[in-house]
């Protein structure tokens, strides 16, 4: 959410930003919110004048009574009463106008970074750099669930009976591999100076609307019936919510946290053939990283965050690339975003395994995450987030890139301590 003062002073900049995000239907909202904001400010001035006049007249009543000017005192009382009713109407209108302005401002997209490429959707995202040599094995790579089944490592049929489509049972070596990757990712981030955290897995609506757009909320979040609670779609939401309505000493920044959580997502919409199996599911686990920092430091932290993911994947012998998200692919709160994609030897292409985002002060403005400088002045923090690793999707990349022709799977050196020292997984089918 952008600053209403910025919008008021730079309406054409906001409109151009909307055009760059190919959301022209939102263009009328700029003029609408400017008109509402002007009405709100005029109404506030009227209310302030009424309060000041009421206080002045109220003081005069005592003086008039003391001077035994009873008729004048009664007239003054009538005036105070009339102005009280007028003030009440102003206050009701103020609340109504503030709600309208807030609702529109939460729909208008954040101002994107000038370095973001302009494009309509993810087909126009721009490759930045590749890390590692993509494999082209001289044997056929099976579909990921077929690989898992050779280890008796997955049961989708039972999961459908228990919970429906989009759920799974992981078992045996595959389940252990899943947990090993999560544990390794946790320690990897701790070694890079991040504080480990396990957050709440449910958050209130006030946090949900503070960290994401209404469109994202509808597409992702599961609501707990009868409660003001939602299951988290990513621990980033709960982690950023940790700082709601806080004033943080500038000297304490940055906050660098890495969090583990299960994640729950509706995953609305149609998906392609490659998204069957465990590619796109309603429940998964993830290691996340978030940063709360000074505004001038967020570009540096943005680059550090996505580099962490690249480095971790490379220690697991998985080739990756970074992809700059174009304007039309950015969620409304994001200033800039880079996706990390892993190489799929089976598909002979890259696919997304993580996303790094700088949200500027958008989340901080909604959640009132403030910083107090050494000069005593307060300002809004910047927030960033990035996926460290999100199995089981990450397992697809791991299994394909470490698969041998005989069906065994190599365990990279970095992961062996988490797998009981095993160097290979050997299928039992």
Flag whether pLDDT at 383 surpasses 80.
Answer: yes
Instruction: Clarify whether residues 241 and 135 are in a common domain.
Output: yes
- The whole-number pLDDT of residue 269 equals 53
Q: Identify the domain containing residue 162 by its residue range.
A: 122-425
What predicted TM-score, i.e. pTM, was given to this entire model?
0.89
Would you state the structure tokens that stand for residue 233, as one six-digit string? 């779609």
Cross-strand bridge partners of residue 220? none
Q: Measure CA 17 to chain center.
A: 20
In-domain check, residue 97: yes
Residue 157 and residue 54 share a domain: no
Which DSSP helix (H) or strand (E) runs through 367? Answer: helix 362-367
Alpha carbons 7 and 16: distance in angstroms, whole number? 12
Give 360's strand partners.
Answer: none
How confident is the model at residue 68, as a pLDDT? 64
Q: Is 126 left (phi over 0), alpha (psi -120 to 50) or beta?
A: beta
**What was the pLDDT predicted at 58?**
63
DSSP string, 377-390: -EEE-EEEEEEEE-
Averaged pLDDT, 115-131: 97
**Which of 49, 74, 105 delimits the end of a domain?**
105
Sorting pLDDT into bands at 50, 70 and 90, what band is 216?
Answer: confident
Specify whether 193 is located in the same domain as 93: no
Q: What is the DSSP string of 48-100?
A: HHHHHHHHHHHHHHHHHHHTT-HHHHHHHHHHHHHHHHHHHHHHHHHHHHHHH
Instruction: Report the pLDDT value the prediction gives residue 270, as an integer from 0 to 100.
Output: 42
Q: How many domains does the chain have?
A: 2
Do residues 297 and 382 make contact, with C-beta atoms less than 8 angstroms apart? yes
Residue 100 inside a domain? The answer is yes
Q: What would the mean pLDDT of 420-424 be, rounded to a whole number?
A: 97
Quick one: pLDDT at residue 207?
95
- Predicted confidence (pLDDT) per residue in 26-80, tens digit: 999 999 999 999 999 999 998 888 777 766 666 666 665 666 666 676 666 677 6
Q: pLDDT > 90: what percent of the chain?
A: 81
Provide the pLDDT confidence category of residue 214 given band limits of 50, 70 and 90: confident
Domain of residue 133, CATH code: 3.30.930.10
The confidence score (pLDDT) of residue 294 equals: 98
In this structure, are strands 246-249 and 222-223 parallel, antiparallel, or unpaired?
Answer: unpaired
Q: What pLDDT is attached to residue 181? A: 97
Segment (H or E) for 14: helix 11-20
Residue 200, SS3? coil
Q: Are residues 259 and 383 both part of a single domain?
A: yes
> pLDDT tens digits, residue range 145-162?
999 999 999 999 999 999
Q: Has residue 259 got a pLDDT over 80?
A: yes
Q: Which residues pair with 130 in a beta bridge?
A: 321
Q: How do residues 291-309 score in pLDDT, each as one tens digit?
A: 999 999 999 999 999 999 9
Looking up residue 73, the CATH number of its domain turns out to be 1.10.287.40
In 3-state terms, what secondary structure has residue 12?
helix
Residue 127's DSSP bridge partners are 323
Neighbours of 55 (CB within 10 A): 11
Co-location of 304 and 357 in the same domain: yes
Q: How confident is the model at residue 344 (pLDDT cuts 50, 70, 90)?
A: very high
Give 357-376 pLDDT, tens digit per residue: 999 999 999 999 999 999 99
CA torsion 124-125-129-131 (nearest 10°) is -110
pLDDT band at 194 (very low <50, low <70, confident <90, very high): very high
Which tokens in the block code for residue 153? 């490592």
């Amino acid at each position: 959410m952008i600053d209403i003062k910025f919008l008021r002073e730079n309406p054409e900049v906001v409109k151009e930003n909307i055009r760059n995000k190919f959301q022209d239907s939102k263009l009328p909202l700029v003029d609408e919110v400017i008109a509402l904001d002007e009405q709100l400010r005029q109404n506030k001035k009227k209310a302030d004048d009424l309060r000041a006049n009421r206080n002045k007249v109220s003081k005069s009543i005592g003086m008039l009574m003391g001077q035994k000017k009873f008729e004048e005192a009664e007239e003054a009382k009538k005036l105070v009463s009339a102005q009280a009713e007028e003030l009440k109407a102003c206050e009701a209108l103020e609340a109504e106008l503030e709600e309208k302005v807030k609702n529109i401002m939460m729909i208008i997209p954040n101002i994107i970074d000038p370095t973001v490429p302009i494009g309509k959707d993810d087909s126009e995202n721009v490759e930045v750099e590749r890390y590692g040599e993509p494999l082209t094995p001289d044997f056929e790579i099976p579909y990921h669930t077929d690989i898992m089944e050779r280890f008796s490592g997955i049961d989708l049929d039972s999961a459908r009976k228990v919970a429906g489509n989009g759920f799974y049972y992981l078992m045996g070596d595959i389940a252990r591999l899943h947990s090993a990757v999560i544990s390794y990712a946790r320690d990897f981030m701790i070694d890079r100076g991040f504080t480990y955290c396990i957050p709440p897995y449910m958050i209130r609506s006030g946090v949900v609307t503070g960290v994401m757009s209404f469109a994202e909320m509808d597409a992702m979040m599961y609501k707990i019936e009868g409660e003001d609670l939602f299951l988290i779609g990513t621990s980033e939401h709960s982690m950023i919510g940790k700082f709601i309505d806080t004033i943080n000493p500038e000297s304490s920044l940055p906050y660098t946290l890495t969090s583990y959580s299960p994640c729950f997502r509706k995953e609305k919409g149609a998906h392609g053939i490659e998204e069957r199996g465990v590619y796109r599911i309603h429940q998964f686990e993830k290691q996340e990283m978030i940063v709360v920092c000074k505004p001038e430091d967020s570009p540096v932290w943005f680059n550090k965050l996505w580099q962490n993911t690249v480095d971790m994947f490379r220690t697991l012998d998985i080739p990756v690339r970074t992809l700059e998200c174009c304007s039309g692919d950015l969620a409304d709160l994001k200033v800039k975003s880079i996706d990390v994609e892993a190489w799929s030897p089976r598909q002979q292409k890259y696919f997304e395994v993580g996303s790094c985002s700088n949200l500027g002060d958008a989340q901080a403005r909604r959640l009132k995450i403030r910083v107090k400088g050494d000069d005593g002045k307060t300002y809004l923090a910047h927030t960033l987030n990035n996926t460290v690793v999100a199995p089981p999707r990450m397992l697809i990349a791991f299994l394909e890139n470490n698969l041998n022709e005989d069906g065994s799977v190599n365990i990279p050196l970095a992961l062996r301590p988490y797998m009981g020292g095993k160097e290979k997984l050997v299928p039992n089918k």
